[in-house]
Amino acid sequence: ASSKLLLLCTLSLSGGGVVAYSESQADVIKTSVQVNEKDSKKKRVVVLGTGWAGISFLKDLDVSAYDVQVVSPRNYFAFTPLLPSVTCGTVEARSIVEPVRNMIKKRNGEIRFWEAECMKIDDANKKLLCRHTSENNLVGNDEFSLDYDYLVIAVGAQVNTFNTPGVLENCHFLKEVEDAQKIRRSVIDCFEKAVLPGLTEEERRINLHFVIVGGGPTGVEFAAELHDFVKEDLVNLYPSVKDLVKITVVQSGDHILNMFDERISCFAEQKFSRDGIDVQTGCRVISLSDKEITMKIKSTGEVCSVPHGLVVWSTGVETRPVVKDFMAQIGQANRRVLATDEWLRVKGSENVYALGDCATINQRKVMEDISAIFKAADKDNSGFLTIKEFEDVVDDILERYPQVKHYLRSKQMRDVTDLLKDPEGNKRDEVDIEGFKLALVHADTQLKNLPATAQVAAQQGEYLSKCFNRKYLSEDNPEGPRRFRGSGRHQFRPFQYKHFGQFAPLGGEQAAAELPGDWVSMGHSTQWLWYSVYASKQVSWRTRVLVVSDWTRRFIFGRDSSRI
């Protein structure tokens, strides 16, 4: 209520660079904005979103150099990697969130925050239309417009249902804190219903059939959490139905966790099989009702329907409508995801940046340059390079584009090293450039689509804040101090993603991890590594203490099964 009061006061005073927005201006935002005296000389940076990308941008930004305003429908930051733990009460929802206003207080209040959703970005007039979405019927305007000099889009992405009929109406998602809380209540609900008198055994069995669609890290982690919750806590509380519980993971690909190293996929599948979690690979969900889930088995084309008690849909993300609308304005309508260059500047728009899950870096130019390097090295136009020439070319590429290094180590790029050997495994004398380029095309796909992870989003936020902090320093020399490309100069080095590895908690105090340098670690010790990393990555001491005490509480007392 206090944030709403603050918003209303600011609106009525018009001193915050915000003016009330009227319904008749729904498509083009024409309202002019009065700017605070204090900030009139400063350029205004508006940040959309308080997730990983937005918050890590704000954390390091020199807020005294800009008039910084933040718009987000969430007045908190959520530590998403612990969301699966919230679904079963291993940690409490409030332990993984940090209020944005706490963060602002630490920055001497120099950032202004509006709890609202950006409904439209008007690129031509550099204006935003925002709407406060409240469950309560409070007095005053909900809509306002905001001018910007620089816009940082960090709105994340929304759940992708692939237009599968019935998903929106009958599935749970695991994207927001509210989703996790809802799942927690529904799981308990399934158990309470299953033990009521008068149900047949088949009805109890159906109510206790939990289906997870998607065998990626989130789906697998939720399945593992649920299995632990059932085995460690619920079987003791609902002994009469303990043998009727079933957990099924439906995956369209051939393996779960297929973005991880093969050894991890295999370890996870074996562990799930021992735990009695049914993994259905090669199955695509074609429709869903409140009672049944209908799937098609890809190899045989056979269609089958299975009754369920609860379904969690966790299959990937897609672009939000506000971003799609913006893409149409700037000539990116034919793209799936908003494209930026390697400096995170949105292509086709001035002074707009995009980070995190809502954006993808378009590196076509890098690939064209790399092809040109190969062509130049192939002096006799034979299509082959000697090993020495090839190694020189790779060194040249790595020196110019260090960001390719990570991908040179990736699975697809390991195929490239195979090109250096003949079928018997002996080292070749020369290398087929086309073969190498083909492998580069695979890597290009990866390069363009950095994974939609908190790690990428946070690194991008940190990178962009450094660019903003030095923007003024480099204004004396607009061409920039460094040369990165064959032609032209740039003020800043391009964004380079550093992969620090990733975890997959698998339940039963076991986890798997892919660590830097292609290291793979699995088992109980990895779970302890997971605990230490996730405790250290918390954004404040408050959440760190809360999360660690939740883990301790769970070890001592078990999870709470109240449906509140």
| Interface residues toward ligand FAD, by CB under 6 A | 48-54, 71-74, 80-81, 83-84, 117-118, 154-156, 174-175, 218, 320, 322, 356-358, 452-455, 457
Is 360 strand, coil or helix?
strand
Give φ, ψ of 561 to 5 degrees.
Answer: -105, 15
Least separation, in Å, of the C-beta of 321 and ligand FAD? 8
Nearest residue relative to ligand FAD (C-beta): 51
Q: Select 209 or 320, whichever has its Cβ closest to ligand FAD.
A: 320
Q: Select 267 or 313, whichever has its Cβ closest to ligand FAD.
A: 313
Least separation, in Å, of the C-beta of 204 and ligand FAD? 29
Residue 82 is encoded by which pair of tokens? 């612990």
How far is residue 95's CA from residue 546's CA, in Å, rounded to a whole number?
5
Straight-line distance from the first to the last Cα atom of the chain, in angstroms, rounded to the nearest whole number: 23
Cα–Cα nearest to 503, from 479, 529, 524: 529
**What are the E-state strand segments in 174-245?**
209-213
CA distances to 214, 277, 404 from 340, in Å: 28, 41, 17
Q: Select 29 or 370, whichever has its Cβ closest to ligand FAD.
A: 29
Least separation, in Å, of the C-beta of 414 and ligand FAD? 23
Least separation, in Å, of the C-beta of 509 and ligand FAD? 17
CA distances to 368, 419, 436 from 403, in Å: 15, 22, 18
Q: Select 272 or 530, whichever has its Cβ closest to ligand FAD.
A: 530
Q: Select 292 or 325, whichever has its Cβ closest to ligand FAD.
A: 325
DSSP 364-383: HHHHHHHHHHHHHH-TT-SS
Least separation, in Å, of the C-beta of 158 and ligand FAD? 8
Q: Provide the angle, in degrees to the nearest 10, between the axes of the packed helices 262-275 and 217-229.
A: 30
Give the ranges where 210-297 is alpha helix by DSSP (H): 217-229, 235-237, 262-275
Is 342 strand, coil or helix?
coil
The dihedral through the CA atoms of 72, 73, 74, 79 has a sign that is: negative
Location of structure tokens 């390069």: 447
Least separation, in Å, of the C-beta of 14 and ligand FAD? 22
Q: Select 247 or 397, whichever has its Cβ closest to ligand FAD.
A: 247
Is 144 strand, coil or helix?
strand
Q: Select 53 or 413, whichever has its Cβ closest to ligand FAD.
A: 53
Least separation, in Å, of the C-beta of 82 and ligand FAD? 8
Least separation, in Å, of the C-beta of 141 and ligand FAD? 17
The dihedral through the CA atoms of 292, 296, 301, 302 has a sign that is: negative
Q: Select 73 or 523, whichever has its Cβ closest to ligand FAD.
A: 73
Least separation, in Å, of the C-beta of 437 and ligand FAD? 31
Q: Select 132 or 175, whichever has its Cβ closest to ligand FAD.
A: 175
How far is residue 23's CA from residue 21's CA, in Å, rounded to a whole number?
7
Contact of 151 with 121, CB cutoff 8 Å = yes
